[in-house]
Amino acid sequence: MKRFIGKVLIFLLIISIVCGGISAFDFFVVGSQYKYSYQAALIDKVNRLESINEPKIILVGHSNLAFGIDSQRLEEAMGMPVVNMGLHGGLGNAFHEETAKFSINKGDIVVVCHSTYSDSDQIDDRALAWITIDNHVKMGSLIRRKDFLPMLAAYPDYVKNALFLKLTHGGNKDTGGCYARSSFNAYGDVVVRPEDVQVDVQKYFSDPANAIHVPKINGTCVNRLNEYNEYITERGASMVVAGFPIAFGEYASFDREDFIAFQEELQKALHCPVISDYTDYFYPYELFYNTTMHLTEEGAEIRTDQLISDLKNWLSQS
């Protein structure tokens, strides 16, 4: 038995040395290769989040927020600073929720705008997560204990790809367009929407591959969100759940009653208010930009006005 334990300890020591060596090589030799990528916008979002000392509105979700909110419009209407933490759906709901934890304080309002409530409580695209974290030590806190081993398994590929970029001088380039760090404004909104990326909306939404579905709800996601709500309220802040953009038109496979039923089920499961009527977020196809979740500039303004209305109604009843 002692011999077995000794072998296990030696194995763990070897693994630790190897991982430490790869990490040191990555940090000191390879360095950051994604400074101007879309994912790097998280650095600026966190910096803004931590810089605001007064009560603020924190928007939590994926790119439906990045491409779907006019934060300045929201800030002026609500009289509170706004930070848009929305980034990329491939990171998963849980990852986005963690990003707000860098600074949640008394009086803050955390607005969760997920488009799914049946996630597996994992980081979906670990390669993308590594690019997001990159060589920024602070961002390492976004990896929860349960994510550590899956993320560790994806780390060598991340280092290999970063090394390739370094050797080929392909790293740290601003590619421009809507998928770059430079496409975001100071609030965390994407404000660059090139016309050549605008989809033919009728053709796009008529494709069954792009069909919109009513979100499902599972206990894994709900339990985590209720724990998240507890974390937020313990800090004197408030959490609410609000709607996301829903493309509704001739190709829809659902109707209003389906989303009303979803909303009722979600409100029963959550310990925080669901402040939106999801049918208010049904938008015509022409308000969508390049995916089922990204809005045009006009669409973002309409969605923002609806969120303002929802927040004001909730506050008046609180």
Q: What CATH number was assigned to the domain covering residues 35-188+196-317?
A: 3.40.50
Q: Given this model, what pLDDT does residue 21 score?
A: 55
Token couple for 276: 């939106």
238: enclosing H helix or E strand: strand 238-241
Q: Given this model, what pLDDT does residue 33 score?
A: 93
Q: Given this model, what pLDDT does residue 137 score?
A: 86
CB 193 within 8 A of CB 289: yes
Q: Given this model, what pLDDT does residue 9 score?
A: 46
Beta-sheet strands, E only, within 25-70: 57-60
Q: Given this model, what pLDDT does residue 12 score?
A: 41
For residue 282, give the DSSP letter: E
For the chain, the structural domain boundaries read: 35-188+196-317
Residue 111, helix vs strand vs coil:
strand
Q: Given this model, what pLDDT does residue 20 score?
A: 54
| Closest to 311 in 3D by CA, of 210, 242, 228, 215 | 242
Q: How far apart are CA 111 and CA 20, in angstroms?
A: 38
Q: Given this model, what pLDDT does residue 51 score?
A: 97
In tens digits, the chain (318 residues) has pLDDT values of: 545 444 434 444 444 444 455 555 455 445 789 999 999 999 999 999 999 999 999 999 999 999 999 999 999 999 999 999 999 999 999 999 999 999 999 999 999 999 999 999 999 899 999 999 998 889 999 999 999 999 999 999 999 999 989 989 899 999 899 999 999 999 999 999 999 899 998 899 999 999 999 999 999 999 999 999 999 999 999 999 999 999 999 999 999 999 999 999 999 999 999 999 999 999 999 999 999 999 999 999 999 999 999 999 999 997
